[in-house]
Amino acid sequence: MMKRLLAIGLILVIGYWLANGLAGVPFGEDRMLVGQYYLDNVKQQTGAINAVTAVVVNYRGFDTLGEVTVLFIASTGVGALLWRRKKERTAEVEGSVVLTTGTKLLVPFVILFGSYIFIHGHLTPGGGFPGGATIATAFLLLYMAFTAYEIPHKGFEKTEGVAGMSYVLVGLIGLAIGGYFLFDWIWQTWKIGTVGELLSGGFIPVIYMLIGIKVGTELSGIIDNMIKEGVSE
Amino acid sequence: MNGQYASLLIALPLISAFFVPLLKGAGKKAVGYFLVVVTALQAVIATLVFQQVYDTGKPIIVMAGGWKPPVGINLYIGHFAALFVLIVAVVSFLVAVFSLRAVKVEPIDKYAMLLLLLMLGATGMIATGDIFNLFVFMEITSISAYALTAYNKTGEAAEASMKYIILGGIGSSFFLIGVALIYGSLGTLNMAHISELAWTMNPTVAEVGLALIVFGLAVEAEIFPLNAWAPDAYQAAPHPVTVMFSAFVVKAGLYAMARIVYLMKDLWNWSSILRLLVILATLTVIVGELAALRQRNVKRMVAYSSISQIGLMALAFALGTEAGVDAGVFHMVNHAIVKTLLFLGVGYVALTLGGTGIENFRGLGRRMPVTAFSISVGAVATVGVPLFNVFWSKVRIILATLDVGYTWAAVLVLGASVVEAVYYFRLLHTMWFGEGGERRDESLTMGLIMLLLALLVIAIGVYPDYVWNIAQKAGNDIFNVAQYVKNVPLMGVGA
């Protein structure tokens, strides 16, 4: 009881302190120092309509490369910690016919929609991370509905690696052509596409496709690792 | 020469880590040697960068995507970053060589990826010039550290990693809130730009934001109340990983903290933040040393000793004077060398004799003379005996502390050093005068690495001037914020 009261008291003090700090940042006031620059120049400099993806992939692409790495570490870490020589699914109850049939019908559509999201990252809300997560839900569905389903491991791991390497390679090509790492050579040097059409946005769609594939395979791999149990030989 | 090639420091470990899954089919040996080759390449690039920065005296500004800061993200590889990126790369190379022998637990391919990414994270944290990018690299570092801590899959390791992950998670959320507050009030994330505008900030916002950021980084930097995870993690992690933790992961956190605190120099209540840090740092030293005194496990003992040394560096950085910062950087360099030596030695003994308990070290002088000699050099150096490198940096830190007038802090820290001497000499006594078992064969590579490091310890101890000069330049990089801001080619935005 005493402990709980103390904790509540402490949280209130911290909350008050934080609120005090937040009060110094008035809501809704114009704080667009760098932000205004992005809004003013995004179309002409990156060829993308979606300012968020342009900032995330192009202006601050370094962060996104880092985030992709964080996800990669998460899936590698889960893989390392749950590693067993032999693992099997231990699910016992097969889904009902309605569930299995529904899943069979649904999976291609989910994958199609996921791909749509990451291919149109520079035009519509979304991008590689939501698209990849959507694709992973398709595999989650398969795992939930069928007791025997397994993703093709070897292929998935290799695809994940290749997608990540290609992202870095795109950046290195930028270093070779434009002199800067992650330089958008497709838009800045070659000027391919018209703003607003599918073929535009420089390397944003290319990178988002890679991220989509990578995130999709990674999350599926995490699900696979967590859902299986080691069996003694 | 165009400095943009320095971005390879980030790109190379990244692309190599992504390549490992493709290499997996080639066998365990191949993965191990791949790790050695990549870290060696990284060391070569880091050496080139180091040479360029110290030859020209100008920092390398890497602009990702070719966008000028603050619109894009820049890496700032000045004197400090060049020096520490080199240390990170060289230590990683030594660790990779040690891993060939030390890590037999499966899955080795995942271990290689995590190790490369830990190196990448520390490099990025040290090099970045953008506060949100710092957060991303901190996440890379800490998440790979969580996974590597639990890598041995024992109950002990899982518990250590659990503690670390919870504390680290809370710490990085606080850091993120701090970044959000600063962005909310200034509208920029670039460190140089923040420093330029810091005086316009609402003092309450600045205080809360800075406190949150310092709090978040303190978990990584092992400052007193937030370092409870560290001894467990050091003890439970695979031996090569412990070397990396102590040699550069902590220092990346500590450096980031020092960098951000010094950027905010213009705040009205800056000195009160420094005073708080001085108190915490002194406590870190004392608690670390007293805890080390009672340990029966040598690896844990060295871990506590490492924490208290970190406290000493934090104290030096918290003084707020140029002499203090220089001494802190000098101590960072010396500590990196000494603790690499000690943890390599202890890890190697544990591998050969099975375990890090004190009983395994009895009579080590006769059983494994080369290893015992190297550990002794490391132990004597850590205590701060003259003619070894740590002596000079400890003296400088104490002098700088006295200069500012923190006599109590200097006295307490010196007292803690006496405690340190007690347990290190106890270890030396067990090693050289204890009853020992039979002679063991020692590996040539490990012996060479340890002897080389021991030689380095003594060389810096006898001729400290060369490294001291480097440390002064690197310290100036942190202390002289005006120069830092001037070196970053900010484009005029908004103003």
The count of CB pairs under 8 A between chains A and B is 189
Amino acid at A58: N
CA atoms of B75 and B66, how far apart (whole Å): 12
The tokens of B286 are what? 């004392």
The tokens of B244 are what? 């990396």
Which chain B residue has its CA at the smallest distance from A70's CA?
B140
CA atoms of B40 and B29, how far apart (whole Å): 17
Chain B residue numbers with beta carbons less than 8 Å from the beta carbon of A175 are 4-5, 7, 11
The tokens of A59 are what? 């202006």
List, as ranges, residues 86-145 from B with C-beta within 8 Å of A: 106-107, 110-111, 113-114, 117, 120, 124, 130, 132-133, 136-137, 139-140, 143-144
CA dihedral B413, B415, B421, B426 (to 10 degrees): -130
For residue B144, give Cα distances in angstroms to A61, B62, B293: 21, 25, 30
Residue pair B64/B24 in contact (Cβ under 8 Å)? The answer is no
Residue from A34, A36, A55, A211 to probe the interface with B (highest B Cβ count within 10 Å): A34
CA atoms of B328 and B478, how far apart (whole Å): 11
The tokens of B336 are what? 């990196």
- Comparing C-alpha atoms, which of B146, B152, B94, B141 is closest to residue B119? B141
Residues 6+ apart with CB under 8 A from B44: none
Q: What phi and psi, each to the nearest 5 degrees, are found at residue B386?
A: -55, 155
Residues 6+ apart with CB under 8 A from B66: A174, A178, A179, A180, A183, A184, A188, B72
Which chain B residue has its CA at the smallest distance from A184's CA?
B65
**Residue A25: which of B106, B136, B185 has the nearest Cβ?**
B185
- β-strand pairing of B74-77 with A228-230: unpaired
**Other Cβ atoms closer than 10 A to B352:** 18
**Residue A62: which of B73, B177, B207 has the nearest Cβ?**
B73
Q: What are the tens digits of pLDDT across the range A92-150?
A: 787 789 999 999 999 999 999 999 999 998 888 888 899 999 999 999 999 888 888 88
pLDDT (tens, 9 = 90+) of chain B, 495 residues, equals 577 888 889 999 999 999 988 888 777 788 889 999 999 999 999 999 999 999 988 888 888 888 888 888 889 999 999 999 999 999 999 999 998 888 877 788 889 999 999 999 999 999 998 999 999 999 999 999 999 999 988 888 999 999 999 999 999 999 999 999 988 888 889 998 888 888 888 888 888 888 899 889 988 888 888 888 899 999 989 999 999 999 889 999 999 999 999 988 877 778 888 888 999 999 999 998 888 888 888 999 999 999 999 999 999 999 888 889 999 999 999 999 999 999 999 999 888 888 888 888 888 888 888 888 999 999 999 988 888 889 998 999 999 999 888 889 889 988 888 898 899 998 888 888 877 677 777 788 888 999 999 999 999 989 988 999 999 989 888 888 888 888 888 877 654
Amino acid at B221: A
Angle at B228 between CA B88 and CA B231, to 5 degrees: 55
Question: In angstroms, how far is the first alpha carbon of chain A from the final one?
Answer: 49
CB contact under 8 Å between A81 and B150, yes or no, is yes
- Predicted TM-score (pTM) of the model is 0.93
- B406 by Cβ neighbours in 10 Å (0-12 / 13-18 / 19+) ranks as buried
